[in-house]
Structure 1
C-alpha cells in the first residue's frame, strides 16, 4: 500500500494491492476512494493508537510499525493486522508511507495465550505459596499448642513424681494414669499432624485410599456414593498416587460445596498402559465460565498435577443430556 497524510492529518490511500479484499473484506478501489473505511472497522482504542502512531512517524520520520484489531462484519470475525512501512517526505508537508499490511492473527493469539498462561501460572504459584505458608502456620500452631502443651504437662507430672520419690512419698495410680493419657493424646496428635502432611491411607495402596475417601465423603456429607474398580491393587509411583488422591479429594470437596448432588460415582480403572479416575455426580453441573475463572485455583491445581505427570484432565457434563459433572483423569503407566 501507499498511504499519504497531509499536515492537517487527513489520511488517504494512493495505492492498495488486491490482497486487501482477502485481508479486510474491502476492495482496493474502496479503500482508495475512502481511507476512513480502514479506521471504521477498528475499535476506538486501536483507531486512536494508529492515528497517534501515524502522527508520531510523520513528526520523527521513523518507520511505521503498528498492530491492532479490525472487525470484518461480513465474516463476523476479528483479525489482528500489522502495518509496516517506510516514510518519505513529499511537497507541501505531505508524508507518504510505502509498506505492507499483514495478517498476524494466529501468531498474536498464540502470544496472548502464552501470556495468559504465564499470568495464570504466576497466580497459581502465588496461591500455592500462600497455601504453603498457611499450612506452615497451622502446623506450627498445632505443634506449639497441642504437642507443646502435652509435653509441658508431662514434664510437670514427671517433676511432681520426682519430688514425691525424693520425699519418700508413695506415687498414686491416678498420677501415672493421667500421664499415660497425656502420652496417648500426644501420639494421636503426632499421627494427625503427619496424616495431614501425607495421608497414611496411601500406604495401603491407591485403590483402598480412594475407596476410603468415598466412604468418608458418604458419611460426612450424607450423599449416596459408590466406588468401583477393575483391580484390587494398582501399582503407581508415589507422585501418581498422591495426584489421584488429591484430585479425588478436590473433586469430592467441590461436589459438597457447589454441586447439590444426590448421587456420586467414583471409578478407578487400570489397563496395560494407563490408569483412569472418574468422579461423576448428578448435581447442577459446572459452567465453562466457572472453569475459566482466575480464582479457580482448585481446578487449576488439578490441571497442574496432571500436566506434571504427562496425563490428561477433562471436566465436563456427566453425560449427554444429563445434569452433573464428570471429572476424568488419565495418567500413563
Structure 2
C-alpha cells in the first residue's frame, strides 16, 4: 500500500499513517498472489473501464467490512499503480439481510395459509360434494325409472360431480402437496413421476437413505425450487432425460436437477429470468446458495445447497 486517504484509514480502523507500506493481504486475506496478478493484468488491459466487485476487507480490530471495490489502472511519473476505491456497503448489506428475513417470514406465512386453504378446500368442499353425490344417487333410485330424460340428466350430474372431486383434489395438491408430510425424499420422487406423466421425459431420482429431517419451511422451499426447475426444463430445455439427486456435502444438503437439453449462455437474459431469481431468493432465505451450470448443446445443471447446521439448530429449538 503506497497511499491511503484518511477516509480509507478510518474505514479500515487504522490511525493516520498506519496503512501505508502494509501488504495488501493484511486488508483482504483472500488476495493471494495469483489473484493479485490476475487483477493487475485485467486492470492494465482495460484502462478505460474499472473493475468492480464486492468483497470483505479485514479491519484493524479483526472484523470484516463488506465493501464495493472499484479498481483502476494509473500511470504516474514512470510508475504504474492500481487505484482502489472502497465503498462501505455494511448498511446496505444489513438492509438486504432484513429484507430477506422479512421475505422469508412472509413466505412462511404464505405457505401456512396455502396449507390451511388446502385443508379447507379438501375437507369442506369434499364433504359437500360427497353429500351432493349421495343426494343425486338417491334421486336416481327414486325417480329415474319414471322419466328416461331425468335418468340422463342425473348421469350427467354424477359425471360433473366426479370432475369436481378431481378438481378439488388438484387444487388442494397444488396449494400444498400432502406428500410433503412423508418427507422431502418422497416428495421429490412424487414430483418426478408427475413430471414424467406430463411430459413423457424420463426422470431419474437418486436419494440416499437416512436423510436428516427437514423443517416444514425448508422442505417446502426445496420442493418449490424443484417445481420451478422442472417447469423451466419443460418449457425451455428440449431435454430427453432429467436427473434429480439429493446428496450431503460438507455440512450441506444439495439438490441437483440436471437435463440433457439444449442449454443456454448463462450471461444471456435467460440466466436472469424471474424463475431463476425466485429460486435464488428461496435458497438465500433458507441460508444456502444456488449454482447454475449450462452450455449451449450440453444441457443445464442447477444445484441448491441448504446448510445442515441450521437444520440441526431448528430441531434443537
User: Which TM-score applies when normalising by structure 1?
Assistant: 0.49
Deviations 1:225-269 (A, max 9, x none): 211111265521111111111111111111121122222211112
Which residues in structure 2 correspond to 1:67-146 (within 5 Å)? Answer: 75-78=47-50, 105-107=85-87
Deviations 1:162-218 (A, max 9, x none): xx9xxxx95558698777666554443332221111112222221121112222222
| Aligned residue in 2 for 1:314 | 291
- Do residues 329 (structure 1) and 304 (structure 2) align? yes
Does the CA-based 8 Å contact 1:154-1:179 persist in structure 2? no
Give the whole-Å Cα distance in 1 for the aligned partners of 2:228 and 2:157. 39
Deviations 1:32-55 (A, max 9, x none): xxxxxxxxxxxxxxxxxxxxxxxx
Any gaps of 5 or more consecutive residues in structure 2? Answer: 4-42, 52-69, 72-82, 146-150, 309-317
Which residues in structure 2 correspond to 1:39-50 (within 5 Å)? Answer: none
User: Which TM-score applies when normalising by structure 2?
Assistant: 0.51
Which residues in structure 2 correspond to 1:1-333 (within 5 Å)? Answer: 75-78=47-50, 105-107=85-87, 154=132, 170-172=142-144, 184-231=162-209, 234-270=212-248, 273-290=251-268, 296-317=273-294, 323-333=298-308
SS at 1:107 equivalent: strand
Does the CA-based 8 Å contact 2:265-2:294 persist in structure 1? no
Does the CA-based 8 Å contact 2:266-2:294 persist in structure 1? no
Give the whole-Å Cα distance in 2 for the aligned partners of 1:278 and 1:227. 10
Does the CA-based 8 Å contact 1:205-1:233 persist in structure 2? no
| Aligned residue in 2 for 1:27 | none
Deviation at 1:310, TM superposition (A): 0.6
Q: Does the C-alpha gap of structure 1 residues 191 and 251 become closer, same or farther in structure 2, counting only changes over 3 Å?
A: same
Does the CA-based 8 Å contact 2:260-2:298 persist in structure 1? yes
SS at 2:50 equivalent: strand
Q: Does the C-alpha gap of structure 1 residues 182 and 277 become closer, same or farther in structure 2, counting only changes over 3 Å?
A: same
Does the CA-based 8 Å contact 1:234-1:270 persist in structure 2? no
Does the CA-based 8 Å contact 1:205-1:234 persist in structure 2? no
Does the CA-based 8 Å contact 1:231-1:269 persist in structure 2? no
Give the whole-Å Cα distance in 2 for the aligned partners of 1:233 and 1:178. 48
Q: Does the C-alpha gap of structure 1 residues 170 and 232 become closer, same or farther in structure 2, counting only changes over 3 Å?
A: same
Q: Does the C-alpha gap of structure 1 residues 220 and 235 become closer, same or farther in structure 2, counting only changes over 3 Å?
A: same
Does the CA-based 8 Å contact 1:268-1:278 persist in structure 2? yes
Query: How many pairs align?
Result: 212
Does the CA-based 8 Å contact 1:226-1:266 persist in structure 2? yes
SS at 1:278 equivalent: strand
CA RMSD of aligned residues (A): 4.9
Deviation at 1:315, TM superposition (A): 0.7
Give the whole-Å Cα distance in 1 for the aligned partners of 2:45 and 2:305. 42
SS at 2:180 equivalent: helix
